């Protein structure tokens, strides 16, 4: 695998604006003692609701309106309620680096596009107070950066994203998810970035188990335009294509199978979309010939 090229400079300013407008603005609130960060994970991404987590001791200078007087009377000390919105959580990028991601019909490989996407979101979230982690997978977890907060973590993620040793290999989405569940015991927001090609039979049941556990899920499908359909007016005759996982080759005529190819891909996309919908998870489709910053901001971040 050649070195992964990340063209981050044009994205960083947009990510910085996105972070300042949609992250910091929504999570910094004034208290008697100044600013504090709250609930960046749920303030940024779609929330399943605000839930009570625990009580903690009241600190002088905090908003007295948050005191739970009944609980304080029972405990004989002043307590406030802490909700899930106020807990800094883990955000895990679950990145597909299998062989099908090393494809491009133009100048941007899917894995380069996906790596830029992860790097941009990591940069935008670096000051949120949340712990950001990265898991790269093929038919297993091939690289793990444990969740941590801060700009140093962002630099570590970028360094790993550009390392070619982690790329290429067979794909087993279900097995990789199972390994993720065994590794990540804490509640987390998991952002899956994949082309969702090469899914093995039975992945749906594993995904249902995954979604019913302790995770919130965002799926980002990264596709090359030719993953969906052949371009119109394609008259190049017979060609040889290779399976990115097995390296098997077949001779085919794109003109004869164009409609079936398009229909098959549409059906696969709708099935994957349905699986995310039925598990109440967010699902986004991106193509490597389109910019992603604005689309992600409108879908994932609270802001117009």
Give residue limits of the domains in the chain.
9-17+88-228+274-300, 29-86
| pLDDT value at residue 141 | 96
Residue 103 has pLDDT above 80, yes or no: yes
Average pLDDT, the chain: 81
Which two tokens mark 272? 């994957």
Average pLDDT over residues 197-223: 92
pLDDT at 18 over 80: no
Which pLDDT belongs to residue 48? 44
Closest CA to 130 of 173, 164, 85, 175: 85
C-beta neighbour count of 274 within 10 angstroms: 12
pLDDT (tens digit, 9 = 90+) per residue, 154-180? 999 999 998 989 999 999 999 999 999
Q: Percentage of the chain surpassing pLDDT 70?
A: 78
Q: Given a cut of 90, is residue 254 above it in pLDDT?
A: no
Using the structure block, give the residue that is written with the tokens 């007295």. Answer: 64
Name, in order, each residue with C-beta under 8 angstroms of 263's C-beta and a sequence gap of 6 or more. Answer: none
Listed range (71-75, 101-105, 133-137, 287-291) with the worst mean pLDDT: 71-75
With vertex at residue 184, the alpha carbon angle to CA 221 and CA 56, rounded to the nearest 5 degrees, is 115
pLDDT at 166: 92
pLDDT of residue 218 exceeding 90, the answer is: yes
Contact 131, 66 (CB under 8 A): no
Query: 0.95 exceeded by the pTM?
Result: no
Pairing of strands 141-148, 239-242: unpaired
Separate counts of helices (H) and strands (E) for the chain: 10, 12
> What would the pLDDT profile of 22-75 be if each residue is shown by its tens digit?
444 444 443 333 333 434 444 445 444 455 667 888 888 777 777 888 888 888
Q: Which of 9, 4, 7 is nearest to 162 (CA)?
A: 4
Q: Does domain 9-17+88-228+274-300 have CATH number 3.40.50.410?
A: yes
Q: Three-state SS for 195?
A: coil
């Amino acid at each position: 695998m050649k070195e992964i090229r990340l063209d981050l400079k044009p994205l960083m300013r947009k990510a910085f604006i996105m972070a300042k407008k949609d992250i910091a603005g929504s999570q910094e609130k004034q208290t008697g003692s100044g600013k504090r960060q709250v609930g960046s994970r749920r303030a940024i991404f779609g929330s399943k609701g605000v839930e009570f987590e625990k009580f903690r001791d009241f600190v002088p200078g905090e908003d007295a309106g948050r005191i739970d007087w009944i609980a304080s009377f029972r405990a004989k000390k002043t307590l406030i309620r802490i909700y899930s919105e106020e807990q800094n959580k883990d955000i895990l990028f679950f990145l597909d680096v299998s062989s099908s991601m090393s494809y491009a019909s133009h100048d941007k490989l899917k894995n380069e596009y996906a790596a830029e996407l992860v790097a941009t979101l990591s940069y935008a979230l670096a000051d949120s107070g949340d712990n950001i982690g990265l898991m790269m997978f093929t038919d297993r977890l091939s690289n793990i950066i444990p969740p941590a907060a801060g700009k140093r973590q962002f630099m570590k993620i970028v360094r790993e994203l550009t390392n070619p040793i982690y790329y290429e290999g067979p794909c087993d989405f279900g097995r990789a998810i199972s390994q993720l569940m065994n590794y990540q015991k804490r509640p987390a927001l998991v952002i899956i970035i994949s082309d969702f090609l090469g899914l093995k039979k039975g992945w749906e049941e594993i995904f249902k188990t995954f979604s019913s556990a302790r995770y919130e899920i965002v799926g980002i499908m990264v596709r090359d335009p030719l993953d969906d359909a052949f371009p119109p007016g394609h008259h190049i005759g017979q060609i040889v294509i290779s399976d990115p996982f097995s390296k098997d080759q077949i001779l085919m005529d794109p003109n004869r199978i164009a409609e079936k190819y398009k229909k098959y891909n549409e059906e696969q996309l709708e099935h994957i979309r349905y699986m995310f919908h039925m598990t109440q998870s967010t699902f986004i489709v991106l193509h490597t010939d389109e910019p992603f910053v604005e689309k992600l901001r409108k879908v994932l971040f609270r802001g117009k």
